[in-house]
Amino acid sequence: MPRPRVRRTEAIVLRERDYAEADRILTLLTPGGKVTVMAKGVRRPTSRKTGHLGLFNRAEIMLAQGRNMDLVTQAQALEVFEELWHDLLRFTYACYAAELVDRFVPEDEGSSDLYDLLVSALRWFSTGDDLRLWCRYFELSLLRQTGYAPSLHRCVVCEGDLQAETNYFDLAQGGLACPRCGMQIPGARPVSLSAQKVLRYLDSRDMASVGMLSLRESSQREIETLMHAVLQYTLERELKSTAFLRRLRSELAMREASRQKPEGSAKPPVFDDQPDSA
């Protein structure tokens, strides 16, 4: 069935590129999929679309079928996520989420669930507290929705149930392996029991439940390192925003340490390495 010549849809701006004197090429995620469109004259101060089609904006737009790509004829911002533009760390997390979606989702593919996930992620990164935890939830949800969900409950080699112990992650087979199998796989990395619990929790719970978690710094680092390895292996490249995010967080941590402020009392972690709660 041919696409209608004019259609209305919601969209989130994933990426933008200036074109000619006043135009801009936009990569959008819509409830119906990812599309690349042309916004003619949007860079002119007098354009009615100016301010409505900014990076990460959620907008209602009208698209008209063009010769090479669809044209944005109308746009009305629905959500701007202003907090992202006042905090470099939050903005960088939003860049990371948008780049992940852009890399994982082919042109003209996607779903309303994926669209809703990105809207939620932008809201989390705008106002949430534990940005790293929300990022891990987003990564696992994106992998699940795009068909790359890691296997976390059964050994990817012998298919036996995984026990409450240190198991191994095999990037090539996309999941955990039991110690007997994992130690035979070149490059398989050990994953602590606490990290396995967190991954399973994030993969099976809703956003409200995730917001109640509090993790040790060591667990945060282990899970982040593993997820970045999984994503890099799946995409066969490291995202530009990953390296920048790593450097930025390091610089911010050094600045915070230099202030020598006393640390407040930390909430107890939810997960530990005891097998009785696996």
**pLDDT (0 to 100) of residue 3:** 65
**pLDDT (0 to 100) of residue 277:** 42
**pLDDT (0 to 100) of residue 9:** 95
What tokens appear for 220 in the block? 């945060």
Q: What is the model's pTM?
A: 0.86
**pLDDT (0 to 100) of residue 149:** 94
Q: What angle do CA 73, 107, 111 make, to 5 degrees?
A: 90
Q: Are 96 and 248 in contact (CB under 8 A)?
A: no
**pLDDT (0 to 100) of residue 259:** 74
**pLDDT (0 to 100) of residue 241:** 87
Q: Are 29 and 107 in contact (CB under 8 A)?
A: no
Q: What angle do CA 149, 153, 159 make, to 5 degrees?
A: 100
What tokens appear for 20 in the block? 């000619």
The conformation of residue 96, written as its DSSP 8-state character, comes to H
CATH of domain 83-257: 1.20.1440.120
Mean pLDDT by runs of 10 across the 278 residues of the chain is 79 93 94 94 85 92 89 93 94 95 92 95 92 94 95 96 96 96 96 95 86 86 95 91 85 78 53 48
Class of the CATH-defined domain 6-79:
mainly beta
Annotated domain spans of the chain: 6-79, 83-257
**pLDDT (0 to 100) of residue 238:** 85
What tokens appear for 61 in the block? 């737009």
The conformation of residue 83, written as its DSSP 8-state character, comes to G
**pLDDT (0 to 100) of residue 271:** 55
